[in-house]
Amino acid sequence: MKAILVSESGGADVLRVGEAEKPSPGAGQVLVRVAATSVNRPDIVQREGNYPPPEGDSEILGLEVAGTIEEIGRQVSGWCAGDRVMTLVGGGGYAEYAIAYADHLIPIPESMSFEEAACVCETYITAYLNVFMIGGLTDGDSVLLHGGGGGVNTAAVQLCKALTPDARVIVTASPGKVERVRALGADLVIDYKSQDFAGEIRSYTGKQGVQVILDHIGAAYLASNMQSLAVGGRLVIIGVTSGVKAELNLALMMVKRQQVIGSVLRSRPLPEKAAIVSGFTRAVLPLLAQRKVVPLIYRVYGLEDAAQAHRDMEASAHFGKLVLSLQ
């Protein structure tokens, strides 16, 4: 099969189109003929040699795919060859075929294209898991989302407005993305390059702070995040782009009963992923089917243009998802 191969760790130029062995599904698995996949930040970290796939998963890049079931493995029921599906994969998305676990599959609604479906599983499930299942956001709360126009952040804004319409959604963004984030439905957008987000949140919330923060920055934002949290608030960290070590005032955290929670999706045990996918499917799939939530696509590339898609992601000029099409 055709696939994007990485011969050595490095920059986007190490990505090349080549031939890889077509995989076969094992027990509980299906083989998906990939129509579209998407580029996610962890793909870049893996390309650089810093994020190996879980044991047993493909070393080919790609964490989510959309396509049709080509072949059913043993002990799989409820699915048929030809079914349109979108799914998380531990690796292998940048290829014509990918292996997925049957209990991680989500049916693609008729109203969705393969390109839109390729945007759902990594970013929308990540947003739903961390803001709602872990962060516990409810109507009337305030939530701070770091990340401007990135895939997880734009997904989180959409889900917050759809699932908790009375929650106040605050987003930090670069100057060039402030208006687009505001148009997406954010109640307050903070230009993190010129404004102190902790001070802005203190003013906006009447010194109360926010109940939930979704953060992928890490060390550089820890102190300001803790200042921005309300009593009993939850800081969910899903990335550490600014570093892994920072000081934390434990006494103040105790007094304010705050929680700092680390979260990843890819390396979770398979049954945990299945439970997360199931909860997401119940809560969010109807919104996708009715197009009350529509994935934001910045650009669609051919598979052979994966290197350019990586360069565009690294430039951080995109707003929404970068999709690789195999159709």
Q: Quick one: pLDDT at residue 113?
A: 98
pLDDT digits (tens, 9 = 90+) for 219-235: 999 999 999 999 999 99
Rounded Cα gap, residues 238 and 314, in angstroms: 18
Residue 18 has pLDDT above 90, yes or no: yes
Q: Is there a single domain that holds both residue 115 and residue 21? A: yes
What helix, strand, coil percent values describe the chain, rounded to 5? 35, 25, 40
Question: Does 106 have pLDDT greater than 90?
Answer: yes
Two tokens, residue 84: 């349109």
Domain boundary among 242, 262, 282: 262
Residue 148's pLDDT is what? Answer: 81
Q: Residue 210 contacts by C-beta under 8 Å, 6 or more apart in sequence?
A: 141, 142, 143, 144, 168, 170, 201, 228, 229, 230, 233
Pinpoint the alpha helices (H) of 192-235. Answer: 197-204, 222-228
Q: Measured between alpha carbons, how far is 103 from 153 in angstroms, rounded to an integer?
A: 26
What pLDDT score was predicted for residue 150? 87
Within this chain, do residues 104 and 217 fall inside the same structural domain, yes or no?
no
Residue-level pLDDT at 147: 83
* Overall number of domains in the chain: 2
Looking at residue 224, what is its pLDDT?
Answer: 97
pLDDT of 24 strictly over 90: yes
128 and 252 co-located in one domain: yes
Q: In the structure encoding, which two tokens stand for residue 5, read together? A: 């191969």
Domain that holds residue 308: 2-120+266-325
Cα four-point dihedral sign 164, 167, 169, 170: negative
pLDDT digits (tens, 9 = 90+) for 30-81: 999 999 999 999 999 999 999 999 989 999 999 999 999 999 999 999 999 9
Q: Region 266-285: what's the mean pLDDT? A: 96
- Specify the CATH number for the domain of residue 177: 3.40.50.720
- CB contact at 8 A, 6 and 61: yes
β 321-325/297-302 pair status = parallel
Q: What are phi and psi of 134, to 5 degrees?
A: -95, -50
Same domain, 198 and 238: yes
Same domain, 89 and 27: yes
Residue the block writes with tokens 């349109």: 84
End-to-end CA, the chain: 14
- Annotate 24-75 with DSSP letters as a single string: ---TTEEEEEEEEEEE-HHHHHHHTTS-PPPTTS-SSS-SEEEEEEEEE-TT
What CATH number corresponds to the domain at position 63? 3.90.180.10
- The pLDDT of residue 21 is above 90: yes
The pTM for the full model equals 0.95
* Judgement on whether residues 248 and 127 belong to the same structural domain of the protein: yes
